Structure 1
């Protein structure tokens, strides 16, 4: 009898918990894993940390690599500091720790910089402790010279040892990091290779790895995968059609979480990304401010210097329709607030490039009617998912 009441108590608790998460917004404490009901997913400051020898590649190869990553909406940290000392500030070390992935650009004089080598050691510490992904790029330098500290690359390292009078332990830590980096699968630029194609391949590799990481991370959100897949299916990601999909549900069911997860998963496929909490943005600013933010994100900051522009301007429309974009208008609570966007949304095929997609989330289903092509109604957690959350 006691066993029966024990199981009955557990069943009632799960049932009550399911009811709560269907009808209330639950914010987990920082120490607990995120669930589908999380309103704002955890934000990583940078996707990629770029390590490079400034005097070798800053104004050339590395600047082009950074720009290519930026065009793919990949948040990349680049150190613009021209004069470096020996000691790396704590803030930079934290930046390396917070990045999802590090790209190391090995050039001929990379090993002549104690700063670069300190970065390298920290990167491999993060790889060992946190599983951070590392992509080595060998720019006009032989990977075997990096691995064994020989050739002109080894000469640069020898000069550093003499100049800085490194301790044996410090020297060995640098050698170990260089050897470990050169044994990883990376990218090597040959003398006859086009840098543009080389950079394109690196960016593709980074995008692929980040997308895989995003997919793995979503498994920490109970029930998120099936919901993300359903929204992706409605968006028909492989189609060249410009589609608008609505996500509808009561507060706290995970509309924003789903939209953010979809956005993170597919961002590398688009030339421009815009994600805005519609209601919050208009509470703190005006529609004009929101439109300016939209245009600066998708067309570049320089668009703001042209003067007053609207969605009806042919200049804006012509530039937008050349871009494949992904737009999320989150928490739209009033159909009247969408009126300023009607020109873009109603003329979607002439407003955006082929394959562009738009997501609109709302608690009010009427807001989505006559605007979207398809609507996804967010489902509450089923029994198995609720039990996982409870456990």
Structure 2
């Protein structure tokens, strides 16, 4: 029981901390919506097995309480939706992208493809490094860091071209230099 309370308290603190990173109030989110009128204000790119039911949901709920329309797949997708189309539309229309880099992120071709697409939109990306260091994203091309093994596996599987793997590595490296937030156990 105490660990549940501690976990809940930690997620609340994270929600408040995130509001400081994206300091929009409900009134300013309304102004943002009128300015661009996207279908979604925020798109959250994440590795579901690591963070979907923890930090991703906390961030989504925190931002939604301010009046922002947040695309988090588990909440935004409905039965019968064509998933790739719906997600690409959300990425294209969002005014802000949040990428949550976690331990298994680079193992997911879906996450890497989304990240590459997000960069091509030219829309602001705020990276959150969840138990991952920004250097882990920078060092992939040198075969270092926790994401290097994931790319070795992608190469062994042979499902993706050398060019595609290089594109994904470059996307990780590019985002590693964006101002964001490192979140660890402390």
Mark the runs of 5 or more structure 1 residues left unpaired by the alignment: 1-39, 83-87, 193-391
**How far apart are the structure 1 equivalents of 2:98 and 2:167?**
19
Shift in Å, 1:42: 6.1
CA RMSD of aligned residues (A): 2.2
1:100 aligns with 2:95: yes
SS in 2 for 1:105: strand
Give the greater-gyration-radius structure (CA).
1
Shift in Å, 1:161: 2.9
- Structure with more of its chain in helix, by fraction: 2
In structure 2, the partner of 1:55 is: 49
Mark the runs of 5 or more structure 2 residues left unpaired by the alignment: 1-33, 78-82
SS in 1 for 2:125: strand
**What is the CA deviation profile of residues 262-303 of structure 1, one whole-angstrom value per residue up to 9, with x for unaligned ones?**
xxxxxxxxxxxxxxxxxxxxxxxxxxxxxxxxxxxxxxxxxx
SS in 2 for 1:152: coil
SS in 1 for 2:164: helix
SS in 2 for 1:188: strand
1:174 aligns with 2:165: no
In structure 1, the partner of 2:30 is: none
1:121 aligns with 2:116: yes
TM-score (norm 2): 0.71
**What is the CA deviation profile of residues 116-160 of structure 1, one whole-angstrom value per residue up to 9, with x for unaligned ones?**
111001100001xxxx11101100001101121232222223223
SS in 1 for 2:74: coil
In structure 2, the partner of 1:141 is: 132
SS in 2 for 1:94: helix
In structure 2, the partner of 1:302 is: none
SS in 1 for 2:44: strand
User: Alignment length, in residue pairs?
Assistant: 145
**Which shifted more, 161-170 or 105-114?**
161-170
Counterpart of 1:89 (choices 75, 84, 87) is 84
**How far apart are the structure 2 equivalents of 1:173 and 1:74?**
31
Counterpart of 1:157 (choices 146, 151, 169) is 151
Conservation of the 8 A alpha-carbon contact between 2:135 and 2:145:
no
